[in-house]
Chains A and B, each alone.
Chain A
């Protein structure tokens, strides 16, 4: 044993220190690469549509709008930019929500979709679409979104209240979530059974998810929620990472595990419910965004959090590009595309990686 004099003395630590700094730099470069990927996808997303523009035209319309042709300027600024940015913000929000759910529940299956939050939102939206029932009577322009949001929060609340009961483990919470998925899906099916043909079409379309109804207003609300939650996660980055070492270890490091889990669950519910309320059910991002981030960058939240956000945003933005380019003139529902392009990609990542992620 190399213990002499003072038992734990600092001596010649250059090697490991250099290695740590090098690994940190590598992770920063990975984040940079993800950001470049995202920006490329964002520009591509704005190039595609009924009228196709070149990257130069898009960039010119964005950075020198006064010099751009009016038609291009209007299409880019009023139609495509809010939709393209909505894909980025929703992707980031869902991936962060999934990442933190997986972290606090210590379960790779946790995501807004698997915990029943998305299913509840679909049910809330269907209540408005089928029966015109508004859970709250005001905000009539946003009745579908408000219903979806409130139902999603109710599901999160149910999960939270049940999780506070004695003897409920994180595994139980995931099982409760799956039970909620089935419950809300059954209720949704019941609504669909009674729905008129027109309403049924609207419900089915809503549950497939669509970015096309994005507006600057909806984008601002979703961004505001993300901006509200992110600083809290940034402040709690060390504590959230420590949760992955187990509750006892985290508590012995002085973390109030129960409070951290509660705070995070509430914020994550908000983060999952708002995008779903505006763009419908998009199931894949919250699960896969964080998994990809974990595989390429690990679980240190200083890197895992931005990597999840960037991965989620890039996947949804890329899915938006694909949804417009499969058949010209037709925009596929985004949820179908995320699953169809995402799942094979995800499988290849899981099967090709030798690194154990869970």
Chain B
């Protein structure tokens, strides 16, 4: 069974402490855990620490029957390589193997591209892609690794609404069908409520809360962590969602009146 557990995990850059004392019970395969928190809360640093890209105190315990390392999808997907989408996904698949590419490997790449509905981009150069397309290609690379633990750092930040829905439903299905353990950092709390089983809240480099989404995301927590007034509502089907109180137009109005 796949599992991921943190024991006193921290991250330091020089003398600056970015993250400290993160301790959790094991996160299990088949589970989607949303990591939320304001900017600079330490979400990306936590992902980089799990992926072994930074060092720090504490221990990240990875339980994997196949011994595969967690697969990290970085937030920054900009590249200037002269490679096609197909070549870049092939790279994810082929690490360490021979130069020959088998039909099975090509079939696996095609399947991943199709699952993300980007097969028409296969032979486009990476440099020609939009931000959203690059993000989808990056997700394709991650999936081509056939990971057991996936760390997705804001994977939908550059995607349109339709693509966001597609990617999040794919993530949800992969977790359920293949028993993947998914950590996904999101700024959109309603997406977190929709896709995640549990939510991990970070603020100021510390773990504020970890638990089932509907229990953790409350008006009190949002006021504490984000400093906003919000209320929870439910859709007709009973799914919870966050409504931020106040209006941006109201906030802008006094300034306009002063200018007038």
Where the two chains meet, the residues of A that have a C-beta atom closer than 8 Å to any C-beta of B are 1-3, 6-11, 13, 16-17, 19-20, 23-24, 106, 166, 234, 237-239, 241-242, 244-246, 248-249, 251-255, 294-295, 298-300, 302, 355-358
Contact = CB atoms under 8 A, between A and B. Distances in A.
B121 to A, nearest CB: 11
A16 B169 contact: no
B101 interface: yes
B91 A9 contact: no
Nearest to A245: B79
B62 to A, nearest CB: 13
A246 B138 CA distance: 12
Contact of B110 (A17, A242, A357): A17
Interface in B7-41: 14
Given A2-B117, A248-B74, A10 B107 contact: yes
Given A3-B115, A6-B177, A238 B107 contact: no
Given A7-B170, A252-B74, 5 more contacts: A8-B115, A10-B111, A23-B123, A106-B80, A253-B91
A1 B106 contact: no
Instruction: Name which of B92, B106, B142 has the most chain A CB atoms within 10 A of its CB.
Output: B106
B101 A8 contact: no
A341 to B, nearest CB: 25
Contact of B83 (A10, A239, A298): A298
B164 to A, nearest CB: 12
A13 B106 contact: yes
Interface in B63-82: 69, 71-74, 76, 79-82
A251 B48 CA distance: 10
12 contacts: A1-B115, A1-B169, A16-B119, A23-B84, A106-B80, A241-B87, A246-B74, A248-B76, A252-B71, A253-B91, A254-B69, A356-B127
Contacts of B119: 16
Given A246-B74, A248-B53, A299-B83, A241 B91 contact: yes
A298 B124 CA distance: 12
A252 B73 contact: yes
A124 to B, nearest CB: 35
Given A237-B99, A253-B95, A8 B76 contact: no
Given A13-B107, A245-B91, A298 B177 contact: no
A65 B100 CA distance: 40
B91 A238 contact: yes
B83 A300 contact: yes
B94 interface: yes
Nearest to A251: B53
Q: 9 shortest A-B CB distances, which residue pairs?
A: A13-B110, A244-B81, A252-B72, A248-B74, A10-B107, A17-B106, A13-B107, A356-B127, A299-B82
Interface of B: 14, 48, 51-53, 69, 71-74, 76, 79-84, 86-88, 91-92, 94-97, 99, 101, 103, 106-115, 117, 119, 122-123, 125, 127-128, 138, 141-143, 145, 166, 169-170, 173-174, 177-178
B79 A17 contact: no
Nearest to A235: B96
Contacts of A252: 51, 53, 71-74, 142
B110 A300 contact: no
B177 A7 contact: yes
Nearest to B127: A356
Nearest to A298: B82
Contacts of B82: 294-295, 298-299, 355-357
Nearest to A19: B123
A291 to B, nearest CB: 10
A152 to B, nearest CB: 29
Nearest to B91: A242
A27 B207 CA distance: 52
A1 B117 contact: yes
B87 A10 contact: no
Contacts of B69: 254
Contacts of B79: 244-246
A7 B122 contact: no
Instruction: Name which of A106, A238, A251, A254 has the most chain B CB atoms within 10 A of its CB.
Output: A238
Contacts of A2: 114-115, 117
Contact of B94 (A1, A238, A248, A355): A238
A20 B88 CA distance: 13
Contacts of A295: 82
A9 B170 CA distance: 13
A244 B84 CA distance: 12
B155 to A, nearest CB: 13
A7 B174 contact: yes
A24 B106 CA distance: 13
A300 B143 CA distance: 20
B81 A299 contact: yes
Contacts of B142: 252
B160 to A, nearest CB: 14
B125 A255 contact: no
Contacts of A1: 115, 117, 166, 169-170
Given A7-B177, A8-B143, A11-B111, A16 B73 contact: no
Contacts of B108: 10
B111 A241 contact: no
A323 to B, nearest CB: 31
A308 B69 CA distance: 34
Contacts of B72: 248, 251-252
Nearest to B81: A244
Nearest to A257: B53
B95 A16 contact: no
